[in-house]
Structure 1
Amino acid sequence: MCQGDDRNCPDFEEHRRSFLSTMDHERRSFLKSAFAAAGGAGVLGAGGLSLVTPSMAAAAQALQPERTNHYHLPATAETVHWGYFSKSLPARVEISPGDYVTIEALTHHANDDAERMVKGDPGAESVFHWSKDKKNVDRRGAGPMDASLFGRGAGEGLGVHICTGPVAIRGAEPGDVLEVRIVDMKPRPSANPEFAGKTFGSNAAAWWGYHYKDLLTEPKEREVVTIYEIDARGERNWAKAVYNYRWTPQTDPFGVVHKIIDYPGVPVDHSTITKNFDVLKGIRIPVRPHFGVLAVAPKEADMVDSIPPGYFGGNMDNWRLGKGATMYYPVAVPGAMFSVGDPHASQGDSELCGTAIECSFTGTFQFILHKSADLRGTALEGLDFPMLETADDWVMHGFSYPNYLEQLGDKAQSAIYEKSSVDLAMRDAFRKMRQFLMNAKGLSEDEAVSLMSLGVDFGITQVVDGNWGVHAIIKKAIFSGVES
């Protein structure tokens, strides 16, 4: 049966809308039941523990209308912003606390193989359209529109992610906390009938990767793109490599030559590359879908490069940000202005070579608002970084510079790429976990330090996004004996 992946089907458009919007009766029933029992509380998980207390849940519930709505935000040239965050962007949809939004997110690497990831898909074709006469989404990055710095193109590629949104939440004000529940994720199937039932993603081992200056074999300082295949119908929980190729200089439709991968969305001319289909034979990559970019708008600058993450979230590249996870963000601007991008089919901690399996996905989110006045004495009081909660864990995100936009001054968006280190990110993650254990769990500093050494796992989130990340994970079950 066509699931919006067979253009020969006479009802292709209807089936595709149904697949992407996820507005069928079964899903609406799931959305209604999945959280109704929680009464506005967050993820409960082990021992019924949550960051959201019953009083916080009641206060958040009071902000919600009697009936929640479910919106659909497609990815088109009119609904995306490419390579940057901005507090000045108009909302693409405005919602009330408690509402759901299904949001389409496109990978900015789709043109690495347009036959598999763009062709026949109206939304992707709208976003990626670039001819010698017209570029549908001109700005790609936070740089100057006239490309006066490097001549790469509008926005200069200073920021690369296709972000859908923003979503404005009514009543959200600076000082509040926005709770974002990732209710569901679905891969975006290839619309090319030649690849019905399949989804594809790209992994670029690129010049910004940790490995790039440490290669063993020739030619050194090479960039290699690997295309992966995923089962769009969910019948297979692993990805397989299809082929790889070395990046060769590509000339974009405006005539600019890109010797390296220095500007997002450049169409790759496959007549200029050599495909190697004998790659990773028999290797099965576990699929763990997640969003690399989930962000509220930062307040410090009007145009912010989408690559370095920070207190506002952004390009955190933590594979745990998938279905069932809940994120908490400090609201910095009115409406919060939430955006989604950089969907991944799979990634390991560190994202070592520079990318994950960059693959288009559609997510369904619920947005809960916690007013600052209701946070006093809770674990979320004074929250100034993105915090993750899963069914079993709490995760603190540390960065080399927690608020690099403020800490590094006028040149922050360039200086951050020169100053990051794992040591700084580790120390920030340690400090955030210490604060959490002392303030939220009532431990003394000595108790917190001992527990961190014995029961907290520190991992390298990523070392490729300018502002490097270390995450600290603590199991909820550790506290099951002291909390009801």
Structure 2
Amino acid sequence: MSIHSVARNQSHLVWDNSIQPILRIKSGDTVKFDCLDASNGQITPEVTVESVASLVFSNLDQVNGPIFVEDAQPGDTLKVEVLSMKTADWGWSACIPGFGLLSDEFLEPALKIWKLNTKEGYAYFNEEKGIKIPLNPFAGEMGVAQKEKGPFSTIPPYNTGGNIDTKHVTAGATLYLPVEVEGALFSMGDGHAAQGDGGTAIETPIVAELRLSVLKDRPYTRTPHFKTPAINVSNEEYYCTTGIEPDLREASRAALRHMIQYLVQEYDLDPVEAYMLCSVAGDLRMHEVVDMPNYLVGMMMPSSIFSHRRS
């Protein structure tokens, strides 16, 4: 099968089926993507927090493509095999005013520039305190064009993919997307070095290799489906805080808020540090959704990222 390349500047800022494809490939071909970070190059290792406050939001979350896959027709499924995913040696996380689960509580911009040890697969959140995050590279944005005329923002997820921000779609995983237009018009971007379930990430440029194939026998693919590589969480311990509310979002906010309070008290982090740590390392999970009127959502923090244990 052929191998194709997509350059950093071959990107677009909205989902729109009228955008002309940058290349055409056969089903089963491999495409190598070279993608800038989600800031579209506005944040670099040298910038300060002032750059967060001055971000041009209309330039965020660009995606590279689109790719026209021959034989892909509406009603088909695009099979996206993630062959490899490599980050840069740096990344960033930020509190961006107006964004995030607790955006009404964290009003000031904040920025953390990470040094990524890609050879050994980790990054220190705080080396002095021994808080170390394992790297798990993936692309937050993978999607195909919608049948409706655009433009549609790249910020949210859709039934056709987009900003799915799912940490399990890493190297070795397979993503399945419903095709709504001829050629599928696949695009991707928004590289992440690590992220918790439900959080935001260590943003970073990525180089990814994907194999794109058309499947004709999956009429049940109406939203993104995915198959993970083997996930090994053996011998991991977690500390979990919970939120119990009649609204799932409010239960999630409460669980996150309680974890921030725990990290501030037990690990001597300031609230902004704790908020960022939850985003890149903590997993939000629905634990109880059947006994009305309340939902129980947990924020699970892996103990292995800390050099010392707490009771």
- Please report how far the alpha carbon of residue 105 of structure 1 lies from its aligned counterpart in structure 2 after TM superposition: 1.4
Output the amino acid matched with 1:187.
T
1:98 counterpart residue number: 28
Residues 63-462 of structure 1 mapped to structure 2, 5 A cutoff:
68-76=1-9, 79-82=10-13, 84-109=14-39, 110-113=41-44, 115=46, 157=57, 160-188=60-88, 199-207=89-97, 208-215=99-106, 221-231=107-117, 234-241=118-125, 281-351=129-199, 355-371=200-216, 375=217, 380-392=218-230, 422=248, 459=285
Instruction: Write the distance in 2 (CA, Å) between the matches of 1:344 and 1:70.
Output: 24
User: Contact 1:345/1:359 (CA < 8 Å) preserved in 2?
Assistant: yes
- Please report how far the alpha carbon of residue 329 of structure 1 lies from its aligned counterpart in structure 2 after TM superposition: 0.6
Q: Deviations over 1:179-203 (max 9, x none)?
A: 0000001123xxxxxxxxxx11110
User: Contact 1:312/1:330 (CA < 8 Å) preserved in 2?
Assistant: yes
1:46 counterpart residue number: none
User: Contact 1:87/1:298 (CA < 8 Å) preserved in 2?
Assistant: yes
Q: For structure 2, list consecutive stretches of 5 or more residues without a partner in the other structure.
A: 48-53, 232-246, 253-282, 287-296, 298-311
Q: Deviations over 1:321-371 (max 9, x none)?
A: 1100000010011110000111100100111xxx31000111000011112
Instruction: Write the distance in 1 (CA, Å) between the matches of 2:225 and 2:201.
Output: 22
Output the amino acid matched with 2:198.
S
Instruction: Write the distance in 2 (CA, Å) between the matches of 1:302 and 1:202.
Output: 30
Percent identity of the aligned residues?
29
TM-aligned CA distance change 1:113 to 1:214, over 3 Å: same
Greater strand content: 2
Output the amino acid matched with 1:113.
T
User: Contact 1:159/1:305 (CA < 8 Å) preserved in 2?
Assistant: no
- Matched length: 233
Q: Deviations over 1:143-168 (max 9, x none)?
A: xxxxxxxxx99xx8357212111111
Q: Deviations over 1:409-432 (max 9, x none)?
A: xxxxxxxxxxxx747xx9xxxxxx
Q: For structure 1, list consecutive stretches of 5 or more residues without a partner in the other structure.
A: 1-67, 117-151, 189-198, 216-220, 242-277, 394-420, 427-456, 461-469, 471-484
SS of 1:334's partner is coil
Instruction: Write the distance in 2 (CA, Å) between the matches of 1:288 and 1:182.
Output: 13
SS of 1:88's partner is coil
TM-score by length of 2: 0.68
Output the amino acid matched with 1:90.
Q
Output the amino acid matched with 2:21.
A
Instruction: Write the distance in 2 (CA, Å) between the matches of 1:235 and 1:73.
Output: 25
Output the amino acid matched with 1:230.
L
Q: Deviations over 1:415-452 (max 9, x none)?
A: xxxxxx747xx9xxxxxxxxxxxxxxxxxxxxxxxxxx
Q: CA RMSD in A?
A: 2.8
User: Contact 1:180/1:328 (CA < 8 Å) preserved in 2?
Assistant: yes
Bigger radius of gyration among the two: 1
Output the amino acid matched with 1:160.
L
User: Contact 1:107/1:343 (CA < 8 Å) preserved in 2?
Assistant: yes
